[in-house]
Amino acid sequence: MTEFVWKIGGEAGFGIMGSGLLFGKVFTRTGYYAHIYSEYPSLIKGGHNTTLVRLSEKHVDSPVLTNDLVVALNKFAVEAHMPHMSKSGGIIYDSKDSDIKDLKIPAGVQLYDVPMLELAQKAGGDMLMRNTVAIGASLALLGYPVEHFSDIIKETFGRKGGAIVDINISAAKNGYDYIKSKYDVSKFPFKFTPKPNSERKLVMTGNEAISAGAIQAGVKFFAAYPMTPASSILHYMAAKEFEHNIVVKHCEDEIAAMNMIAGAAFAGVRSMTSTSGGGFCLKVEAIGMAAMSETPVVVVLSQRTGPSTGLPTWTEQADLRFAIHASQGDFLKVVLAPGDMAEAYNVTQKAFNLAEKYQIPVIILSDKYLSESYSSVDRSELKAIPIERGKLITKDMKPLAQMERFKRYEFTDDGVSPRPIPGVIGGEHIASSYEHWENTFSTEHFETRKKMVDKRARKITLLEKELEPPTLHGPKDAELTLVCWGSQKTPVFEAIDKLNAEGLKINALHFVYVHPLPKKGIEMLKAAKKLVIVENNSTAQFGGLLKEHAGVSFVGSILRYDGRQLFPEDVHTHAKNILQGKEKDVAVVDKEPVEFYTARFVR
């Protein structure tokens, strides 16, 4: 099988992430799969940025630790990424601004000195086009026709005018020709050949998948205040506003955004907001109001490290308990955590259905790793899920008598009351944050209060039937079961495949429906021989939830909370060690002395 990992590294502000996306698209348009993963500090300019592109003939949804070809735009990039070079890999650099004579290059790693700035200027470009030169040079080493990159350049930069397109194409060709003329490309062991007539794959981030899923679900109002790593949802929705007839509001703060979507949902339209941890803190009061008024809202919480500002551009899964317990009081909410791009697209549609059918808040949990990474997706993976609006009333009913008010919160067997939208004759009512009678008037009548709490809780009986069980990956009769949720699906599943190929019987259970827990999932957990919890936080929050609600115990844990997600190699190594009794509870951390914020080494 053909597989290859390309990485570009350099100072922020020089198009590192955009270059990775362009490089990945060259191959996804010609039959290959790609996963594109970026790391960067919280700086507009400076520090150290990297983008890793993993290419394969089969589906890939995780980055890996080993690099086959590194494009280094400065000396720091060469030194920082040498420890992760494959034995027969290569480094493209420019000796005119990266003097690496004092560095000890690992045996077998090939160096390609390319005057990137000079070749960019020769094409009429500047420093920003060094990346274009480097991509051209990389394609030459891979034996891949540069014309496929030219097509991507035309598509990407066409709106900037023909001159910009021509300069970029010329710069790519200069890098391509330079490698061909100066080096024997046959010595570079990785080669790719375009696959003609292959289906064009979509390339999307988790945030784009969530946004597209919301549009497919019929969202008509979106309000948010930008906060990394959720900001690109706002950008995507704003770009699609007129095409899909959506009202999009960039609000003054997160409180306003949450109240706006509650108001829009009360008016009868599907509504959504997005934020990260600090912004979610500000939304929880209005989430409680939506719960009390039984107004269906969808909230995307894209996690980063905490508490407070933490590491704002890095990743973690530490907001699970916060999301489950958001706002005071006892009330039903659903928390969903998709594991990849296709799942994010499909689960978002289900979130809107659940919110409206049960008139509750639904929270979609993502994180920086899932939200901002790109993966190629086959169109067949993206489902169009039928829209279900529950007991929504949009047609006029029998007029109410004078001073009468509609029983918006009628006591029903299933706990779900009829929900007329404003303007429907016969459905006049109010919705507030106060406890209420069936006819929506506020009350402090104790028996009614109890009955209303019970009514809202009764929704769980029907809801439980819609909670999908976890996905089982690997052999059913495994000796060890790894339990994960959300974005850790992809590194865990890949590690499982490798472990089973080595003859070890290990499987995985991946949960998307993390609250309430699906009954079938609890049964699957109890049927497993030995359980290991795998999470991207320090306290195994989901593991604690499973102990509390399922009564299961774990023989070990694999946790990570240093700012990075788990890599397949991490899971593979430690799962094997736990199975063999060499380890029990593991906290994974990278000990390499690289400081991204200052682009320096901490010795």
3-state secondary structure 459-502: CHHHHHHHCCCCEEECCCCCCEEEEEEHHHHHHHHHHHHHHHHC
**Edge-to-edge strand order for the sheet containing 85-93?**
110-113, 85-93, 67-72, 3-12, 46-56, 33-39, 374-377, 202-205
**Residue 44's pLDDT is what?**
85
Phi/psi at 263 (nearest 5 deg)?
Answer: -65, -40
C-beta of residue 105 within 8 angstroms of C-beta of residue 111: yes
Which amino acid makes up residue 362?
V
**Residue 294's pLDDT is what?**
98
Range in 194-208, 426-440, 486-500 with the lowest mean pLDDT = 194-208
- The answer regarding whether domain 203-381 maps to CATH 3.30.70.100 reads no
- Of the chain, the percentage scoring pLDDT greater than 70 comes to 100
CA distance 272 to 260: 9
Range in 98-107, 340-349, 425-434, 460-469 with the lowest mean pLDDT = 98-107
DSSP E strands, 292-360: 297-303, 334-336
- 3-state secondary structure at position 42: coil
Judged by phi (left if over 0) then psi (alpha if -120 to 50, else beta), residue 222 lies in: beta
**Residue 252's pLDDT is what?**
97
Identify the residue whose tokens are 């190929």.
Answer: 501
> Who wins on pLDDT, 351 or 161?
351
| Selection from 66, 9, 14, 56 nearest residue 35 by Cα | 56
Please write the tens of the pLDDT for every residue from 231-262: 999 999 999 999 999 999 999 999 999 999 99
Q: What is the mean pLDDT of residues 484-498?
A: 98
CA end-to-end span of the chain: 39
Please write the tens of the pLDDT for every residue from 514-532: 999 999 999 999 999 999 9
Would you kindly state where each structural domain of the chain is located, as residue ranges? Answer: 3-200, 203-381, 470-588
The average confidence (pLDDT) of the chain is: 96
- The answer regarding whether domain 3-200 maps to CATH 3.90.25.10 reads no
Q: What is the mean pLDDT of residues 486-515?
A: 98
pLDDT at 22 > cutoff 90: yes
pLDDT at 603 > cutoff 80: no
Longest CA pairwise span in the chain (Å): 90
Q: What is the mean pLDDT of residues 477-481?
A: 97
pLDDT at 394 > cutoff 60: yes
Identify the residue whose tokens are 């959300």.
Answer: 486
Fold matches, 203-381 and 470-588: yes
Q: What is the mean pLDDT of residues 460-483?
A: 97
Two structure tokens written together for 320: 């699970």
Q: What is the mean pLDDT of residues 309-325?
A: 97
How does strand 247-250 pair with strand 556-560? Answer: unpaired
**Residue 504's pLDDT is what?**
97
Please write the tens of the pLDDT for every residue from 131-185: 999 999 999 999 999 999 999 999 998 888 889 999 999 999 999 999 999 999 9
CA distance 394 to 146: 56
CA distance 543 to 532: 9
pTM of the entire predicted model: 0.96
pLDDT at 1 > cutoff 70: no
**Spelled out in words, what is the top-level CATH class assigned to the domain 470-588?**
alpha beta
